[in-house]
Amino acid sequence: MKIKENSRVGRVLILPFFIIASLFLTFFEFSAAFGGSGAFQPIPLFEIDCASGGSASVKPSPAGTNDETISMYAASDFPVSFSVFEKLNLLLVLDPGRERLCRFDMSGKFLGELKVQAGANLSGFVWLASSRASFFIFDGACEIGVIEADMSSGKIFSPLKKIGIPALSEGSPADDFTPGGIWPLAARGAFDEGLLLNAVFGASSDRAFIYKKGVIAPVKKFPKNFTGSASFNGGSAVFGVEARGSEAIMSTFDLATGDYDWVPLLKELAPAGAKGEGVKSVRPAGSDASGCVYIEALYGGASGAFTACYIYKFNKNGKFMGRVRVPESPEMPARRYIYIDAAGSIFYMKKSDAPNKVRFYKFTIDELN
C-alpha cells in the first residue's frame, strides 16, 4: 500500500511507529545494562586479554621471540593497578608479570609500554602529569621507584631510579614501613608535589613525601594514627573514612597548613555490625578536581557475604552529592581497581567471566537522593 507524501493518514501511522520503536530500543538498552530481571550487569568500555596481549593493536613478535614476550600479563598474572586520564585519551595499566606500565587509549587500543624492570614485585604506581614523574611501589620493599616520562607519547626522559623511603626524623629507622598503597599529592603554594603512602603491617600512620629535583623528603606534619587515607585531587590535603561509635565520619588533614577537621557522613554508612544487614566496610575511593570525595561502601547481610557496592560522593563539607552502584569485587588481587578522574568519572577494573580477560567500566553518579 502506498502512502502519499502529504497524506495525514501516513503521518499518523508513521509517527506512532517511530515512537514505539524508540521506546523499544530504550527498554532494550536499559535491560542490557541492568538485566531484564533486575540483575546488576554493567556494560564495559572494553576488555583486554591478559594471556595473549589482549588487542589486535599489540605488535607481532619480532624475529627470534615467542608469544610470551608480548603477553599482556605473564603466567596468568592480572593487573594490580590502573589510572585514567580521560582528557588525554589515556588509560594506564600496571603489569607486574612483565614489569611494565601498559598504555591504552579510551577505546582499548594498545599504545605501547613503559619498561620498569625493577627486579621486584610491582604493587602500585602514580603518574604526575605536571612533572612527568611516575612513581612505583613494590611488595615488601621500603623503597620507591621513579621514572620520568611523558605517558601520552611514551617518551622517556630518565630511566628507573630507586629511592629508599627516608626516615621521618633524624636517626629513626625507615625499614619498618612498607607501603601498601600510593596516591599523588599536587603542589600548592610553597608545598611541592609528592606522594601519599598507605601504611601496612603494623605501621602507626600513613606517610607523605614531597618530591623535588629527584629528592624525596618526608612531610613532618602528618598526623599519628591516620591510616587508609587518600589524597585530594589537585591539592595538598588528605582524607580518611572511619567508623566512630555508631556513625561514619570523614577526617581531613591539610599537609600544607597542618589543619585537621572531621565531619559526620550519612547515617546509612554507619557500620551494621557483624550480625546486622547494611554497610560492612567503607574506604576512600578517590577525589575529583572540584574537591569532592568518593567513598566505596560495601553492603552485606548477616551471613557475611557482600550483596552490593556503591560509590558515594560528598563535597568537602560532608554534604551528600549522590551515589552509583559498582561491582562488589574486582575478583582479582588488584590494589587499585577503582579510579576517580579529575572530572569525577568513576572507572572500575574487574576480571571478566571469560578466562584470562579483564574488563574496564565507567560509571557516573546517578542517584542524587
Q: Which pLDDT score is estimated for 11?
A: 37
End-to-end CA distance of the chain: 52
Q: Are strands 122-128 and 110-115 parallel, antiparallel or unpaired?
A: unpaired
Residue 297 pairs in a beta bridge with 282, 310
The answer on 51 and 30 residing in a single domain is no
**Ramachandran angles phi, psi of 352, nearest 5°:** -80, 160
Of 270, 181, 271, nearest to 227 by C-alpha is: 181
- Residues contacting 344, CB < 8 A, separation 6+: 288, 289, 290, 292, 294, 313, 364, 365
Q: Rounded CA gap, 190 and 258, in Å? A: 13
Q: Rounded CA gap, 212 and 129, in Å? A: 14
Q: Which pLDDT score is estimated for 334?
A: 93
The answer on 203 and 70 residing in a single domain is yes
Q: Which pLDDT score is estimated for 168?
A: 53
Establish if 369 belongs to a structural domain: no
pLDDT tier at 24, thresholds 50, 70, 90: very low
Domain count, the chain: 2
CATH code, domain with 343: 2.120.10.30
Q: Rounded CA gap, 361 and 68, in Å? A: 27
pLDDT tier at 131, thresholds 50, 70, 90: confident
**Ramachandran angles phi, psi of 29, nearest 5°:** -65, -40
Question: Coil, helix or strand for 26?
Answer: helix
The answer on 162 and 18 residing in a single domain is no
Cβ atoms 48, 365 nearer than 8 A: no
Cβ atoms 134, 150 nearer than 8 A: no
Cβ atoms 79, 47 nearer than 8 A: no
| Mean pLDDT of the chain, nearest integer | 78
* Per-residue pLDDT reduced to its tens digit, 184-219: 987 666 567 888 999 876 567 888 888 887 778 888
Q: Rounded CA gap, 61 and 230, in Å? A: 40
Q: Which pLDDT score is estimated for 304?
A: 76
Helix (H) or strand (E) holding 28: helix 8-34
The answer on 138 and 61 residing in a single domain is yes
The answer on 15 and 48 residing in a single domain is no
Of 343, 293, 298, nearest to 314 by C-alpha is: 293
Establish if 66 belongs to a structural domain: yes
C-alpha cell recorded at residue 150: 611523558
Cβ atoms 151, 134 nearer than 8 A: yes
Establish if 2 belongs to a structural domain: no
Domain around 27:
7-41
Burial class (CB in 10 A: 0-12, 13-18, 19+), 73: buried
The answer on 299 and 214 residing in a single domain is yes
- Mean pLDDT in residue range 37-43: 73
Q: Are strands 81-85 and 110-115 parallel, antiparallel or unpaired?
A: unpaired
pLDDT at 53 over 70: no
Question: Coil, helix or strand for 278?
Answer: strand
- What's the angle, vertex CA 146, arms to CA 145 and CA 152, rounded to 5? 130
Q: Which pLDDT score is estimated for 141?
A: 83
The answer on 172 and 228 residing in a single domain is yes
Q: Which pLDDT score is estimated for 13?
A: 33
Q: Which pLDDT score is estimated for 220?
A: 72
* Per-residue pLDDT reduced to its tens digit, 239-293: 999 888 788 999 999 888 889 999 999 989 988 776 678 899 999 999 999 999 9
Residue with cell 612505583: 136
The answer on 54 and 33 residing in a single domain is no
Establish if 325 belongs to a structural domain: yes
The answer on 106 and 27 residing in a single domain is no
Q: Which pLDDT score is estimated for 189?
A: 61
The answer on 317 and 176 residing in a single domain is yes
